[in-house]
């Protein structure tokens, strides 16, 4: 039987550190005060992460793709442009509200639960260990992205910011 789009399972992909290499713009967060404008302003220059893209294309053969990112809504246009430029599969793009400062794991788990209703959610691919832990505890299948330059660092400014400042 042919699957309709509606009945396809969902595959959820994070962007920063999963599909997009952010190493070149980390320095904006390593200064005080952190330069969020600079950090998000440079996202159009992110190189794609081959391993994440490979997994994404593989998933897109059987799943509907959803992009779930901690980037704020104000980056929607740049983010959508980047996805188009990289020729990545079309998919819903779920972003953080501009005024939402909750930790990424809280926001993403809420989004996953919303997506999960009546649909098979096949996997979440994300590089944030706290997000992955929370999703696994909630019963979702998780693929931990460990292929970005930033994933080699035990504690980056970005992670601190994600956890304590709820910024991305």
Binding site for Mg ion (CB under 5 A): 14, 16-17, 127
CB-wise, 3 or 153, nearer to Mg ion? Answer: 153
Nearest approach, Cβ of 50 to Mg ion (angstroms)? Answer: 16
Q: What is the 3-state secondary structure (H, E, C) of 22-65?
A: CHHHHHHHCCCCCCHHHHHHCHHHCCECHHHHHHHHHHHCCCEE
Nearest approach, Cβ of 31 to Mg ion (angstroms)? Answer: 21
In 3D space, the residue among 61, 46, 36 whose CA is nearest the CA of residue 14 turns out to be 46
CB-wise, 10 or 161, nearer to Mg ion? Answer: 161
Nearest approach, Cβ of 38 to Mg ion (angstroms)? Answer: 18
In order, the DSSP letters of the chain are -PPPGGGSPEEEE--BTTTB--GGGGGGGSSSS--HHHHHHTGGGPPB-HHHHHHHHHHHTTSEEEEEEEEEGGGHHHHHHHHHHTTPPP-EEEEE-TT--S-HHHHHHHHHHHHHTTS-EEEEEES-HHHHHHHHHTT--EEE---SGGGGSSS-HHHHIIIII---
CB-wise, 8 or 26, nearer to Mg ion? Answer: 26
CB-wise, 14 or 21, nearer to Mg ion? Answer: 14
Point out the residue whose Cβ comes nearest to Mg ion: 17
CB-wise, 17 or 91, nearer to Mg ion? Answer: 17
Nearest approach, Cβ of 145 to Mg ion (angstroms)? Answer: 7
Nearest approach, Cβ of 22 to Mg ion (angstroms)? Answer: 8
């Amino acid at each position: 039987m042919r699957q309709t789009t509606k009945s396809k399972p969902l595959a959820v992909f994070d962007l920063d550190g999963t599909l997009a290499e952010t190493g070149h713009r980390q320095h904006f967060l390593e200064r005080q005060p952190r330069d969020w404008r600079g950090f998000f302003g440079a996202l159009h220059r992110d190189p794609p992460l081959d391993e994440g893209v490979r997994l994404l294309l593989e998933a897109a053969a059987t799943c509907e793709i959803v992009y779930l990112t901690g980037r704020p809504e104000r980056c929607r246009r740049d983010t959508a442009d980047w996805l188009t430029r990289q020729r990545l599969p079309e998919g819903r793009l779920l972003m953080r509200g501009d005024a939402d400062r909750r930790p990424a794991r809280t926001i993403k788990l809420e989004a996953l639960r919303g997506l999960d209703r009546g649909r098979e959610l096949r996997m979440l691919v994300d590089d944030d260990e706290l997000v992955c832990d929370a999703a696994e505890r909630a019963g979702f299948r998780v693929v931990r992205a460990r292929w970005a330059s930033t994933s080699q660092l035990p504690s980056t400014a970005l992670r601190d910011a994600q956890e304590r400042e709820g910024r991305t």
